[in-house]
Structures are given as structure tokens and as C-alpha cells.
Chains A and B, each alone.
Chain A
């Protein structure tokens, strides 16, 4: 027991000592680790930005159901209740004729011809409308099918911008879905490829560091050191690469987010500020970096020196 404690103490001591006495090599190795871990954190942020962008895009999608003139309030409420009970529906809102007119005026306020033309009419021509938002944009076809199942469908619904014969909204939504899915899978592939490259570069750097230790390792073996006595300090050095890498890269990430947060948030209106994501997920980001950094540091070090533990 005493020997194990002593060996552990010496491993830690010599891990720090190696790190300090080879300070330039240590700085070089840590820098590569910083780049890798910064990349990792940055990918997490990029992923967050693109998700925010896609979510804000999705929240802009809705479908309009135009209600028949003849329908009375109770029937309208019943229909609204029915729609709200469809599991995929996020919200459903009744826009009455007056509100519809307001929206119409607001939307076309820069087009006096359209505004004038509607004022020539005696009555408000706009129908009562139900605006439905789905939980995800892929649900619209299911929702439309459910609406068609409504027993009084024929007497309730005049038309919709998402009907089988009027395909504009339907096509737009389906196209949007395609773009969103492609963006997500391309993003994932890019992140995986870049991560693999970063990991390989880090491994290679640490391998070169260990290569410079190959004579020391041989000497230690010849003097009678066991493998665990030799590996101990390198294990600790690997941890140091990971820990320093994590904190320095987080610091850089923090600065980068601080500077890009505002332009990005202007670019994606309605999204949460980027920095808020960083603050709320500090532990997650630091934790993932630390785990990846330490495993990469230890793994590369030990894997690399195994080659020199032969005599």
C-alpha cells in the first residue's frame, strides 16, 4: 500500500516535472490540444446556431384554414377544439373577419391599390381563418389528414392553403423540410470529419513528443523500472495536456462568442442570444472538452510510448 502511494506521488511529481522541464514541447503539444478542443466547442456552438436558425424558420411556418361564412360561433369553437386535440398541433388560433382585415391592411400597407380595392367593397370579403402551427414542420400533412376526418368537414371548411389541389404551402413546407434535414446531416458529417482530423493531429503531435522520450524510456527499462513506473508520469502529462487544453480553449471560445454573438443574433432574428447558450451550458461544454481532452491526452501518450517499451 505504501509503495502504491509512493509510486502515485512520484508519477504526479514527475509528470509535472517533465511538463515543466520540456516547457517548449509542452506548450507546442498543448497548443494543438487547444486547437482541437476549441474546434470541438466551436462545433457545438455552430450546431446551436444552425439549430436556432432552423427552429426560427420552422416557427414561421403555419397553415391557414378558411372557414365557411355560414358557420356559427359554437360550431367554430367546436372545430377549433377538435383541431387543438390533434397531437401534432402546437397551436391553433381563430382570426375573425375584422382581425383578418387588419392583418391584410398591415401586410399590404405599402401597396395602396390592394388597400383601396378592398375598401371599394361593401362587406369584408376576408373569411374567418384558423391559423395552425404544428410542433414540427413535418407534421403538416398528418394534421391536414386529421382535419379532413372532421365529421362536419364539408360544412365547416371552405378551403385551405394546404389542400391537395392548392399546393403552394404544401410544396413550400415540404421543400423547407428537405432543406432542414439536409443541412442537419451535412452539418453532422462535417463535424465528424473535422473531429476525426483534429483527433489524428493531436495524436500525432503527442506521438512526436513521446518519440523524443524514447531514449529515456529505454534507459528506465534498463535501470529496472517497471512499465507502470515508466507510464505513470506520462499518464499525468497526458492529463495535463487535456486539462490545460480545456481551459485555454474555453477561454478562447468565450472570447470568440463574446465578439460574434451580436452579429449572429442580428442575422437570425428572434433567436436566443448565443452567449446565453454558452452561459447556460458552461458545465456541459467544459465537461465534454475535459473528457475528450484528457482521454485524448492519456490515450495518445500511453499508446505512443507502448512502442518504446520493448527492451
Chain B
């Protein structure tokens, strides 16, 4: 469960990114965050990863309060999350295999387990034949698949996807969305999915939270893209 309690976030002196947000996300939910650029979607995500701290209010991840986490405790917290980004954020000097393996190495997995598990996840995202390619040798869609495999490899409780289809064409976007839906269904992973893609939002029938200038203006089960 993720809980936002009276959250306000100010950038600089006068830019109010989030205004007194109260939001509860249950385990296993699939949440779609919609809103224009600057509505506060990314800020909401960053509060969960601990990249940003709120000016007011409390953020809970399960029973743990995370807005007060110290810098040195952040890695431990982030290892429970899988994150995918609009710009993929793959390590440029590492191959597809190594990028995914890196997430396992961080939590101290040994060589044998990595050798066993990474190819399986590469196959799940359809990148089995490109394990040794570097990000510069992959297309956008391929990079995002690798990023998803990396986010999933440690079987996180929550997957944050911040506009993961923003840089992709229609076909690749649908592939990624279907992958996310499958993960949510089969692994019961909580998914928070921020997007601009109206078509996608309208056809998947999930809980939609609409943000506008830092406020939640709508929160509907099986919602549509309305702003």
C-alpha cells in the first residue's frame, strides 16, 4: 500500500507542483496517472522513489514512512521498486544482459543465479536474441523492453512507469502497455503508470487519477482520459 497524506510540494518559492494531495494505492492495483505536463505526475512518482521530499505531509510505503528516509537508507527502499522512465535510463556502457544483471548484483545475487534468471527475463520482454547489444545498438522500443526487464528482475512489489511510451511509436507503445497489464495480472505487481496517451487510457479500463496543476481533479475506477 502506498499512502499520500496531505502532500504539498513546492519547487522554488512559488511553483506549487502538488497541492494537499491525499491518495491511497492498494497492493496489486493498476493506476493510471493522467494530466498535462507540469500537472504533478512525475513529482508524485519522485516522492515514492525518494528523489524529492514534500514540503508538507507524509508518504508511506507499506508501513514505512519514506519522506523522512535518510540518504543512506534510500538504496534499500528503492530495491523494493521497479522503475521505468520515458528516457529508458539504461547504462550506456553495459549490454542488455549487463544492465539487467546490474539490478541483481546490487542486491548481492551471485553469478549462477544471474546467469539463470536474466536470459529468462530477456525472453519475457522479447529481447532474448539481443542480450549482448549495447543500448546504442537498440531501437527505442527495445531499450524500453530491457528497462522493463531490469525493473522486474528483482520481483518488486511496485512498478513505477513514468511515461514509458512517451518516446515510442504506436505499435511499441501498445506492446509495452500490454506487457504492463500482463505483469499486473499475473504477478500481482502494483503498477503506477503515468501517461499522455489518451487512446491507451480509454481502452484499458483501469483506475484513472487525473491531475491538474497539482490537484487531483478526478479519481475514477475504470476511468477515461478526461481533463
Contacts and interface: CB of A to CB of B under 8 A. Distances in A.
Interface in B59-111: 72, 74-79, 81, 83, 89-93, 102-103, 105-108, 110
B83 A21 contact: no
Interface in A10-34: 10, 17-18, 21-22
Contacts of B51: 222, 311
Contacts of A229: 75, 105-106
Interface residues of B, number: 24
Contacts of A220: 91, 102
Interface residues of A, number: 22
A219 B107 contact: no
Given A6-B108, A10-B105, A311-B51, A224 B93 contact: no
Contacts, number: 56
Contact of B75 (A18, A21, A216, A225): A225
Given A227-B72, A311-B51, A222 B89 contact: yes
A3 B72 CA distance: 18
A105 interface: no
A-B CB proximity, top 3 nearest:
A224-B78, A224-B79, A226-B75
B150 interface: yes
A51 B150 CA distance: 63
Interface of A: 3, 6-7, 10, 17-18, 21-22, 215-216, 218-227, 229, 311
A81 to B, nearest CB: 76
Contacts of A222: 49, 51, 78, 83, 89
Interface string B10-31: 0000000000000000000000
A225 B150 CA distance: 13
A10 B98 CA distance: 12
B93 A216 contact: yes
B54 to A, nearest CB: 16
A3 B104 CA distance: 13
Nearest to A10: B105
Contacts of A226: 72, 75, 106
24 contacts: A3-B108, A6-B108, A6-B110, A10-B105, A21-B93, A216-B93, A219-B89, A219-B90, A219-B91, A221-B75, A222-B51, A222-B83, A222-B89, A223-B102, A223-B103, A223-B106, A224-B77, A224-B78, A224-B79, A224-B103, A224-B106, A225-B75, A225-B106, A229-B106
B166 to A, nearest CB: 17
**Among B81, B83, B102, B103, which residue has the most Cβ atoms of chain A within 10 A?**
B102
Given A220-B102, A224-B75, 6 more contacts: A21-B93, A22-B93, A216-B91, A216-B92, A224-B77, A225-B106
**Among B72, B79, B106, which residue has the most Cβ atoms of chain A within 10 A?**
B106
